[in-house]
Each structure stands twice: as C-alpha cells, then as structure tokens.
Structure 1
Amino acid sequence: MMIDERDGADVTPATDWLLGPVSREEFLRDHRGRRHLLLRRRSPGHYRELFSLARFDELLSGSGLHAGAVRVVRDGRADGGAAGLEDLYARYRDGSTLIMPSVHDRWPPLRELCRRLAGEFSAECRVNAYLTPPRARGFDVHRDSHDVFVLQVAGSKRWRIHQDARQEFDLCEGDLLYLPRGLPHEAASAHGTSLHLSVGVHPLTWADVLLAGCEAAVADDPAFQEPLPFGFARTTGGRAATRERVRELTARLGAVLTPDRLADDAVDMALLAEGDRLGGHLLDLAGLAGLDAGTAVRRRPGLRWETRRDAGTLVLPFHGKRLSLPARHEAAFLRMADGEPFTAAGLPGEDGLALVRRLVEEGFLTLAASG
C-alpha cells in the first residue's frame, strides 16, 4: 500500500506556474530533453514575489562572505575569491558577474519552489542567481549536464544557443528560457544590469539507482568484503577460482537487487530530493519529556512519505530513512497519518503512547501546539 499525502491542499502545480501559458503536456511532448523553449511573457513583474534585485542585494550585503557564498566570473574565467564585500562590489563595477549558488537555501520562496518542482519531476532542483553588470559576459559557450530553466528577474540578456543552427535572442524581464541538458549556450548583458535565476533539474539516472543498490547490497553482506585469493593474478588456477567466485557473487547480488527493491530505492531517492520538513523539530524534542497520552500531536505538515509491507512489518520511508513498525500498529498508524490532531489515548490497539513518542522523536509527528 502506498500513501502520498499533501494535507489536501489545493496547490497549483509548480510546472503550471513556471511554464504557463504552455501546458505541462506540451512541454513534456515537444521540449523536455529535446528542444529549447522561449516564453516571452511581456510581464516585467512576473517573478517579483519569487526574487528581485533588491533581494539579491539584501542577501549579498547582509549575510557575510563565507566560503562559497558568492562566485565571481568574467569573460569565461573564474575571478578568484573576494577579499571582502567592497572588493566584491569593485569587481562587479569592473565587469565581473556575481553568482550566488544554491540561493534557494537562503530564501524561502525559492526553497519552496524547489520542493514543489522536485516533487513533480521526481528530481533534485537547485537555484543559482546570476547578477551581470552592463555590457558584460560571465561564461563562454558551455553545456550543462542537467536541464535548466532560466528566469529573467531584472533587466535583459542576449542569449546565443547552438541547436541545429545558431540562434540569438534577448531574454527580457519576466521571460523564461528552457535549455535541455547538453545544449551549447552563452549569454551577455546589454546596456543595463541583468539578474536571472538558473533553476537546475538534476534527475535520477538508472546508473544512480543501480550503483546505490549495489553499494547497499555489498555493504550488508560480509561475503563481498572477503579478499581475493592470495596471488590469484599469477597462476592459472587462481584466475579460474576468481572467475568462479565472481559468478557466485554476481548471482548473489542479482538475487538481492530485485526490481521491487530497486524501484523502492528510486522512490526513496526521489522523496529525499524534495528536502526535509523539520521546522519546529527541536521544540518537539524539548517537549518529549512532557508528552503523555493526552498530548495533542499530528503528522508533520507537508511531509512526503509512503508505507510498504515487508514480511509482516510496516515500512515507513521519509526524510531519507526507513522506519520499521510492527504490523499490529497499522490501524493506529493510519489514524495518525490522516493529518488531523489526535492523542495517544485515542489510538486503536496497545502501546499507543510509545508509538507516538517514537514518531515524534523521528520527526514524522509534531506536537499540535507547535505545528
């Protein structure tokens, strides 16, 4: 049984907002992984609530310059580390592009956009912000190893892409450009400042799933940690024994890496890409000492999770981990999972308080008062 809960919220899919007026079906059919997409919206304020030049300035001037906070590039070359904020501004005035990597980690609306896109694409999403002064260029022609959505937040930029034949166009404030992975491109500002967001979609690959499955399987089985025979590379018999043992171990691996297991692993990896929902968890942990059978708790809002049955056990994957619960708790768990506040005293079955305490501690439940 699989349960995928979103609290019943009526939320417009992020791809509908991102791609409109192009439908998601049209994008998937005609563009994703195939051809670029240019949306001219003629709506300068389209991204105002998401990000702005003022927000970039606030993050830059107010958060300090810790390692990796800002990258500097100019004419295709990295411009080294800045000695301080004034040095950073000086380089910008002199023609360097300022890049704020993973800006979604520093600004909640972008973090929420990444979470929603990750849920729809089943892929990790990251956002970088690029601020380019007038008449300047950051990178040379290059290819990205993942799909990119370019959101022009302020000003404009001249883009050149090389698909079939070279195409050149201006991306203006409010416009969007989709670039499939591997498409060569470059961009430069014109007569004004340009600020754009680069939303990168980093999908899972079959190699990711298979490699992760193999690594987990060999780590769990001591047979794979055995050394190869002494001197096996120098004798015919040693090589023959090695081939035979490899056959045995690959058969052993194949028995473990079933399609069901690998598919479950892929789902868990996709859920993890959406990020965690652990706001207030420290308050919950502090409140555990006073939690009793009458304390109101609820499932953590916005949490992505599943349930699976495995040999009489209820398996609960969320936040990149898997909890195993005795099958006798299934009725109580389904009551917990509906999203409404409840108390341990109101759960069916036995050991309700112990179950509630464990799930609060793990972050699946939260105290209703703090949620």
Structure 2
Amino acid sequence: MLNRCIATDAGSFATQYWGRQPLLSPSGSLPRDFSDLLSGPMVDELIAERGVRAPFIRMASHGDLLARDCYLGPAGFGAEMPDQVDSAKVLAQFAAGATIVLQGLHRLWPPLIDFVREMVADIGHPAQANAYITPPTSRGFDPHYDVHDVFVLQVQGEKRWLVHEPVHQDPLTTQPWTDHRAAITERVREDAAIDRVLAPGDSLYLPRGWIHSAEALDNTSIHLTIGVAPLTVLDVVHAVVDTLATVGEFRTSLPMGIDPTDRGSMAAIATKVMAEVTDTVQHRATDISEGSATRLSQRHAQRTRPVAVRPLESLAAAEHAGFHPVEWRRGLVAHVDHHADRVVLRLPDRTITFPALCSPALDALHHGLVADATSLPGLDQDDAAVLIRRLLREAVVIPAKQPEHPTRTSRG
C-alpha cells in the first residue's frame, strides 16, 4: 500500500525520504483516489450508525480540543455508556467551525484495517489511521510537530498545508512539540519549506519533527493521516540494555559512600561501566543480539495486531479440517523452534508444543503455504487434520479465502 501514498518507487523513498525529508506527491497524470478508504458518506455512517465512543472521536477548534460533553452523550436504553458520540452535538460543533477527528480507524473501519495492515507489511513499522474532517475555512490545530511519521492522504475538498523544518530533529515520544513552543513560534515566521494546497488524490509524507499546520479552503476537507511509529536506534539500545539485565554483574549495587552529586566521580563510574558493557557485548555478542532481537520482536507484536479471526468461521473450519484450506494468520509474530523430540511454537502470549513430526508442516504454513490436510508436508491426512484443527482453535491459522488448490503466498 505504500505505493498508493508516494509518487516515487519504494526504493527511492527508502533512501531519499524515509526519516529525512518530506515528500509531496501530487495526483498528477495518474490520478489517485482515496475515496475507497473513506468518504463523506462513510464519515456520516461512522458518526450516525456505528456507535463510535471516545477516545475514537475528538473535536478541536482553533488549536484547542473541545470538552468531551460537547460531542458525547449516553445512547439510551441498552447502551447507557456515557462516552458515545452524539451526532446532533457533533453537527452543532462542526457547523460552528470545529474539526472532527476520528482516531484509530485501523481498528474500526474495514477498508482502513486492511490498508494499514498492508502498510505495516510494506514499511516494517507499526502504523495507525486517523481522519480529520474540517469545515470550510477552518483550522483544527496550531503549528506543531508529531513524534511519529505521517502520510497525509487528501480524500475530499482542499486544504492548505504549511510545513517548516524541524526545531528538534527526530523527536522521541517523550519529547512532544509543547516542549518547544517558543522555537516553533519563531520557526513558522520563516519561509515555509512547503506551502501547498492538497486536492483530492494528493498526498504528503512528513517525517517526525517537521512542523506543520493546515487549513481548509472554501469547502469541507477530509484527509487521512497514516501515522507510523518508527523503531529507532535508541529502541535497539534499550533492548540491548534490557538483555544485559540478565547478566548478574550489571545488577550489583554500586559501592557504599559514593556521592551521586559529584559529577567527576559519577563520570568515572560511568566510564568504567561502559567499558564493562563493551567487553561483555564483545564476548557474548550472540547471546545478547539474540536476546535483544527477541525483545524487539515482542515489542513489535505489542504494537501491532495480526489479522482478526472470525470465531464462528474458524470453529466451523475446524469441524472440516481435512478439507478446508487454511493459511497462517497474517501479522502473527511467531517463532518455530525445532528440537529432537518436539517442535515449539513461540507466540507473543504463549508457547505451544507439538510432536517433532509436525516440523515440516509448521514450517511450511509459517512460510506461506496455503493447504488442507491432504497437502501438508510430512503428515498423513489424519495427523494433518489434527494439527490444522489445533492451529485453528489456537488462532494461529485462519480459513483461507482462496485458492481452491494449495499454493504458496507471501506472509508480508
């Protein structure tokens, strides 16, 4: 899905723009259309009929968030939760110039669920989807930067975007724009790096830290933001440090009598510890790199979601495990460990053990084989049906939509 968001090839984007500089991608001679992902009628459906609750909706006006009771309320008998959207209140605020923000649409809206999952597969980093619906001539937020990368997809109407260079390069999640208000105020007085009206089908990529603001023109504007939370070098460092916590010598207390206020003394201690860390990393590089990789994999699993399972469909498929083809649950982070007498499937929340004879079948499914019990390698049909039934119930595989005959596909 990355190719829908950029006017260059993925390789050029990765080397020239990713995390470095903005990329403006006009619709141009090959018109793009994002209305399959969201549209005006879809926004109305979400607000009027889908029971959206906070925090999946916010409203803002002239840089400030509105109080929740301005657009939320109870939903009547049988749905008394007080934080559901009140469509009449939303209408009143929108008519008065407030921007509607629909958050977390990658969890609510099927077209964006699929789109964001494909984006994660293309980019390799967690992603989310928000929508901003701004009435004519209105502005929702003051100039600011985000602590994640953003792809802006203009869906409907036009919006003028002003983009300025960072005042704080590559900000972390603990370094919000509010820490740099004065510097941002000064920066936006300078000429903008980008001053452009986005029309439907246009897109804009902004690395984290780039300052931006946007204002609708003479019509209602709808745009999507696909936010990407990049894994950073510092995240890898944290994973290494967390792995070092398994090494006893780094859990020992510092000597009694130290003076933490003595910067020279503490600097000497820090130098000594850094040398010990370097020595340990050099001598235990494989263990530490593998431990760090496990932690980074677990972190990714916590920040993303595999394709959802359909419980009734999965149980029905389990009833006919010998004949219904299945495929690996896309996006499920798992590791298959082989031992002489067993094979262990390690999932983010549990570990499942199988007989060693299941190894070829598990490997094949994990690497993209779509198969039924007649075509799993290494097992006869009865054993394959037992394995498929177990994997369906454990939500490791799901019923394949297609094909009728086993083929190999990419897990993405």
What whole-Å deviation, never above 9, does each CA across 1:258-279 have from its counterpart, x for those lacking one? 2133234434544665521232
1:128 is aligned to 2:115: no
Say whether the 8 Å CA contact 1:44–1:173 is kept in structure 2. Answer: no
Q: Secondary structure at the match of 2:126?
A: strand
Partner residue, 1:37: 23
1:149 Cα offset (Å): 0.6
Say whether the 8 Å CA contact 1:136–1:188 is kept in structure 2. Answer: yes
Closer, same or farther in 2 for the Cα pair 1:65/1:105, shift >3 Å?
Answer: closer
Closer, same or farther in 2 for the Cα pair 1:44/1:216, shift >3 Å?
Answer: same
More moved, 267-276 vs 190-199: 267-276
What whole-Å deviation, never above 9, does each CA across 1:338-361 have from its counterpart, x for those lacking one? 211116998538976664444233
- Letter in structure 2 aligned against 1:158: R
**Within-5 A mapping of 1:343-362:** 348=379, 355-362=387-394
| 2-structure distance, mates of 1:216, 1:281 | 37
Closer, same or farther in 2 for the Cα pair 1:235/1:209, shift >3 Å?
Answer: closer
Closer, same or farther in 2 for the Cα pair 1:41/1:265, shift >3 Å?
Answer: same
1:50 is aligned to 2:50: no
Say whether the 8 Å CA contact 2:373–2:388 is kept in structure 1. Answer: no
Partner residue, 1:329: 358
1:275 is aligned to 2:261: no
Closer, same or farther in 2 for the Cα pair 1:291/1:213, shift >3 Å?
Answer: farther
Closer, same or farther in 2 for the Cα pair 1:370/1:216, shift >3 Å?
Answer: farther
Give structure 2 stretches of 5+ with no counterpart.
73-85, 166-189, 260-268, 404-412
| 2-structure distance, mates of 1:81, 1:203 | 30
1:64 Cα offset (Å): 3.0
1:108 is aligned to 2:100: no
Partner residue, 2:81: none
- Letter in structure 2 aligned against 1:186: S
1:303 Cα offset (Å): 5.2
Closer, same or farther in 2 for the Cα pair 1:320/1:198, shift >3 Å?
Answer: farther
Say whether the 8 Å CA contact 2:343–2:354 is kept in structure 1. Answer: yes
1:26 Cα offset (Å): 2.0
| 2-structure distance, mates of 1:264, 1:19 | 32
Residue identity (%): 27
| 2-structure distance, mates of 1:308, 1:278 | 21
Say whether the 8 Å CA contact 1:114–1:274 is kept in structure 2. Answer: no
Partner residue, 1:340: 371
Q: Secondary structure at the match of 2:68?
A: coil
| 2-structure distance, mates of 1:155, 1:69 | 23
* Aligned residue among 95, 98, 110 for 1:96: 98
Partner residue, 1:298: 326
Partner residue, 1:140: 142
| 2-structure distance, mates of 1:346, 1:120 | 29
Partner residue, 2:263: none
Partner residue, 1:172: 199
What whole-Å deviation, never above 9, does each CA across 1:218-274 have from its counterpart, x for those lacking one? 5xx6979x9969xx75689xxxxx99xx99x97999659521332344345446655
Say whether the 8 Å CA contact 1:98–1:132 is kept in structure 2. Answer: yes
Q: Secondary structure at the match of 1:203?
A: coil
Say whether the 8 Å CA contact 1:123–1:273 is kept in structure 2. Answer: no
* Aligned residue among 182, 198, 201 for 2:225: 198
Closer, same or farther in 2 for the Cα pair 1:102/1:305, shift >3 Å?
Answer: closer
Partner residue, 1:159: 161
More moved, 302-311 vs 47-56: 302-311
1:72 Cα offset (Å): 1.1
| 2-structure distance, mates of 1:156, 1:366 | 41
1:122 Cα offset (Å): 1.0
| 1-structure distance, mates of 2:402, 2:324 | 10
| 2-structure distance, mates of 1:360, 1:253 | 43
1:266 is aligned to 2:304: no
| 2-structure distance, mates of 1:235, 1:202 | 40
**Within-5 A mapping of 1:222-301:** 255=284, 258-267=288-297, 269-270=299-300, 273-285=303-315, 294=322, 296=324, 298-300=326-328
1:101 Cα offset (Å): 0.7
Closer, same or farther in 2 for the Cα pair 1:345/1:57, shift >3 Å?
Answer: closer
Give structure 1 stretches of 5+ with no counterpart.
1-13, 237-241
* Aligned residue among 5, 8, 11 for 1:25: 11
What whole-Å deviation, never above 9, does each CA across 1:305-325 have from its counterpart, x for those lacking one? 565446656454556655454
Closer, same or farther in 2 for the Cα pair 1:310/1:137, shift >3 Å?
Answer: same
1:146 Cα offset (Å): 1.2
TM-score of the superposition, structure 2-length normalised?
Answer: 0.69
Closer, same or farther in 2 for the Cα pair 1:359/1:234, shift >3 Å?
Answer: same
